[in-house]
Structure 1
Amino acid sequence: MKITIKEVAKMAGVSPSTVSRVISDSPRISDETKKEVREAMEKLKYHPNAIARSLVNKATNTVGIVMPQSVEKAILNPFFPQALSGISAAAHEQNYCILLSTGNTEEEQLESVRNIVMSGRVDGVIIMYSSVDNLVLEEVKRLGTPAIIIGKPLDSKETMYVDNDNVEAAFKVTERLINNGHKRIAFFGGYFKFIVSLDRLDGYTRALKENNIEFEKKYIVEIADLLKENAYERMKELLKLDNRPTAVVATDDVLAFGVMDAIKEAKLKIPEDIEIISFNNVPYDEFYSPSLTSVDIDAYSLGYESARLIIENMKGIADGDKVIVPTRIIDRESSR
């Protein structure tokens, strides 16, 4: 039989309204009364109804999550499961739930976000990407709901965010390849409407400029959907050039895997003929052949810090509005 608030109130010797106030952690109730009510709840194994509790608190204790594409596609990229794991851990620590907002197109995403925000199902939103024209972010702001981005927004003064220093990380990777003697360095990036791709391209370009190496557009490859197969096809095209690249910077390990497959198929050696350094340090990197040198962006911490920061902001106890997560290069066989 389901236990009710009335039974908890009877055991604790208080009124049902007092039990409700204890559930909502009202400051009007003394610590001693709270203790007695919570002990009664524990003895009776009473668990407050989440919906009823949200009506009392005017809060759902739920954070919405928006991915850059459909969940089915995004989950194939190891970054998102790792970041989601961090979000889940931080939310659990703060007694929050998470709710995925889905949509295959930006319009579907907007409609999904409107539904979960306007129906009062979430207290805030985590957007797991930053783009040049982030319509989802603008819509969430318009609706007056707290939002945080994983990635650097165009207007960093107006938006909470968690990110790496992607410009500096790409600069260091490219400069390392230059110091290894390379001048023909290809850049494989994701969709250039995403700020992370633009930041890493910026770091790459800056390293070339500071080392007096001419920027050549033919070495710049944009893979909008981050598919391994597309990176493989584009690398095959670069290998046909008279001055083929001798090194590759890939902004995502999935792209690097496609690049490596094309190189091996051409009977070239990695890293002797073409050296490769990538980003994200996904679990598959050490098992690929040869194993992949990659920048560890700490996707788990990016997710964890985004959830921690937005929840603490909603509670009014946040210590800032941004977090920069450090990166480090994990050396493996694909680089010297």
Structure 2
Amino acid sequence: MAVTIKDVARLANVAPSTVSRVIANSPRISEETKRKVKKAMEELRYHPNLNARSLASQSTQTIGIVMPSSGDAVFQNPFFPSVLQGISEGAREKNYALHMTTGKLEKETLEAVIHMVQGKRVDGLILLNSKVEDKVISYLRKMDFPFVIIGKPSKHVEEITHVDNDNVRAMREATEYLIDHGHRDIAFIGGSLELMVTVDRLHGYKQALKNANIPIKNEYILHEEFRREGGQEAVSELMALAQRPTSLVVVDDFMALGVLSTLNELGIKVPEEISVVSFNNVLLAELSNPPLTSVDINIFGLGYQASKSLIQKIENNNEPTKRIIISHKLVERLSCSEPS
């Protein structure tokens, strides 16, 4: 015979309505009562019927995750498993499931989002990046559908809840780190200029050079995909210049791995002949040869806060718009030295 909420309530010595509130993680219930009810649920091996709850509340109890258009790059880059882990933890705490979508083309991604929204498959969406001209954001604003961006929107910043790092400051500090080591020929390897994260980090790079009275050289600024191959192509081009840079700032550890492999093939030693600072501080940075100095942007925290903020918007229509900035720090390793 199936165990019911009444059975749990009887064992925990509370009202059935209290059990329902515990399942919904209501803030009105004390932690002591929650522990007592959860213990009774475990003893009776009771599992809430979330589908029934969803039907009753017209809620799917599901968060949609919109991956970047280049789906193949997503599953190669370690950034995404880390941010998904953070999102998943925030969702788990409130008993929400996750539904992911991606497309090789921007049009496919937009169509998938429309399908999720109009088909009422999810209660809200998390966008894993922000583009300068983002049709997905425009559509969601038009539909007044709950969403949160990991990154900074290019427009309507004060009207869209987003979770981000201070990317201008982070890149400025990374570039200043190389300047403090005596470098003046510093190249920038970034992602697509359609992405706001690239726009902000390029701005920080230029700020640092300007503050140090170092001329900005356009040939030292390259943009490739956030992939290992992107780093390989960029550094090959830089090393072919008549005046090579003595140091590099790379906006992504996965790209930096391609940079290191190509430098090794060319017989250029890191850090003796060229220094490298990267971003994200994923495990690759620590295990690379040499270990990379990298800016830790707390990827897990980005995902967790995005998930938490979205659920607050879903459950409270009056939830105010938020701009959440996740702190960063430079982790020094062995990829930087003074220019030879």
In 2: Cα distance, 1:107 partner to 1:312 partner: 29
Query: How many residues of Structure 1 are paired with residues of Structure 2 in the alignment?
Result: 323
Any unmatched runs of 5+ in structure 1? none
Task: Give 1 or 2 for the bigger CA radius of gyration.
Answer: 1
1:85 Cα offset (Å): 0.2
- After TM superposition, the structure 1 = structure 2 runs for residues 65-80 of structure 1, keeping only pairs within 5 Å, are 65-69=65-69, 71-80=71-80
Is residue 175 of structure 1 aligned with residue 176 of structure 2?
A: yes
Paired residue for 2:241?
A: 241
Query: What SS is found at the alignment partner of 1:120?
Result: coil
1:272 Cα offset (Å): 1.7
In 1: Cα distance, 2:82 partner to 2:286 partner: 16
Paired residue for 1:294?
A: 294
1:43 Cα offset (Å): 7.6
Paired residue for 1:63?
A: 63
My pick for the range that moved more, 192-201 or 178-187, is 178-187
Is residue 213 of structure 1 aligned with residue 214 of structure 2?
A: yes
Paired residue for 2:95?
A: 95
1:81 Cα offset (Å): 0.4
Question: Structure 1 318/108 Cα, relative in aligned 2: closer, same or farther at 3 Å?
Answer: same
Paired residue for 1:311?
A: 311
Give yes or no for contact 2:84–2:303 (8 Å, CA) kept in 1.
yes
Give yes or no for contact 2:228–2:254 (8 Å, CA) kept in 1.
yes
1:297 Cα offset (Å): 0.5
Question: Structure 1 170/307 Cα, relative in aligned 2: closer, same or farther at 3 Å?
Answer: same
1:119 Cα offset (Å): 1.6
In 2: Cα distance, 1:244 partner to 1:284 partner: 26
In 2: Cα distance, 1:183 partner to 1:39 partner: 62
Could you give the per-residue CA deviations for residues 199-248 of structure 1, whole angstroms, max 9, x where no partner exists? 0000000111111111111011100x222123213312211212101000
Paired residue for 1:49?
A: 49
In 2: Cα distance, 1:182 partner to 1:57 partner: 60
In 2: Cα distance, 1:62 partner to 1:286 partner: 35
- After TM superposition, the structure 1 = structure 2 runs for residues 1-336 of structure 1, keeping only pairs within 5 Å, are 3=2, 23=20, 45=45, 47-69=47-69, 71-154=71-154, 155-223=156-224, 225-316=225-316, 321-336=322-337
In 2: Cα distance, 1:89 partner to 1:101 partner: 19
Give yes or no for contact 1:24–1:56 (8 Å, CA) kept in 2.
no
Could you give the per-residue CA deviations for residues 85-114 of structure 1, whole angstroms, max 9, x where no partner exists? 000001111111111123221111111111
In 2: Cα distance, 1:213 partner to 1:162 partner: 32
1:49 Cα offset (Å): 3.4
1:135 Cα offset (Å): 1.0
Could you give the per-residue CA deviations for residues 124-163 of structure 1, whole angstroms, max 9, x where no partner exists? 1100101101111111222221110000112211100000
Q: Which amino acid aligns with 2:276?
A: I
TM-score by length of 2: 0.86
1:39 Cα offset (Å): 10
Any unmatched runs of 5+ in structure 2? none
Give yes or no for contact 2:77–2:227 (8 Å, CA) kept in 1.
no
Question: Structure 1 107/21 Cα, relative in aligned 2: closer, same or farther at 3 Å?
Answer: farther
